A and B are shown apart, each in its own frame.
Chain A
Amino acid sequence: MIDIERRRALKAGGIFAAFAAAGLLPAGRARAAWNKAAFEGKTVQEALASIGASTTAASDDVQIIASDIAENGAVVPVQVVSRVPGTTQIVLFVEKNPNVLAGIFDIGPDVAADVTTRIKMMQTSNVAAVVKADGRFLASVKEIKVTLGGCGG
């Protein structure tokens, strides 16, 4: 089922990872291999460094849409919408998770800068969305409380 181009991209993983970290790959066409360094980062800072983000600036144009409270941390719906022009990547972090980096979404010319997924949260934590646009990194943070569910329902 996997086509030749993807097989080549996966094989050349090492080089692609480096290019992707420097933001040189156009999103969507040739996929970067999985960014191991970023996903193994123990803190948000480490993970950000691995995606080439040395500094981030807060921005109201990056919006995290999620309930303030998650009844159960196993499944927490999160939507990130970026109104920053030239958005090419949306990166999602869960500060207090053992796996801090949740996902990197490549926003190419054919998709809107609007993604929704569900994350796991080990405990009440800040969730951060970092958007890459024109070489700059803009961020927004939201605290999501996690309750432990009860015995029924």
Chain B
Amino acid sequence: MANPMRIRAAAKDGITEVRVLMNHEMETGQRRDASGAVVPAWFIQEVSARLNDKDVMSAQWGPSIAKNPYFAFKIKGGKAGDTVSVTWVDNRGDTRTDNAKVT
């Protein structure tokens, strides 16, 4: 099971600002290791988020997104106590979902 994300969600003036730090190598597939072999590409391809039970955001990423990606977006609505859930899926089919309560 992949490493946990750090999610912060704060509601203010009708907007819930979500900030996520994901734990992922985001390997481009351009690098070579010490023996000269190409380090295979390994990166998050899909990101999605929900507010309680509703899908609110989705994105597709490539390896040009930085290692240990940071992602911030603003949900219209949401209030303290709601749950924000973020999911990523990478090119190996690995996936991770974490939740946080909106403050």
Contact = CB atoms under 8 A, between A and B. Distances in A.
A114 B74 CA distance: 7
Interface in B43-93: 45-46, 48, 51, 54-67, 69-77, 87, 89, 91
A143 interface: no
B23 interface: no
Interface residues of B, number: 36
B15 interface: yes
Interface majority SS (helix, strand, loop, mixed), chain B? strand
Given A101-B64, A108-B56, A2 B73 contact: no
A117 interface: yes
A38 B67 CA distance: 21
Interface residues of A, number: 40
B66 A110 contact: no
Contact of A39 (B51, B62, B66, B74): B62
A117 B97 contact: no
B73 A120 contact: no
Interface of A: 1-2, 6, 10, 27-29, 31-32, 34-35, 39, 74-77, 79, 94, 97-106, 108-112, 114-120
Interface of B: 15, 26, 28, 30, 45-46, 48, 51, 54-67, 69-77, 87, 89, 91, 95, 97
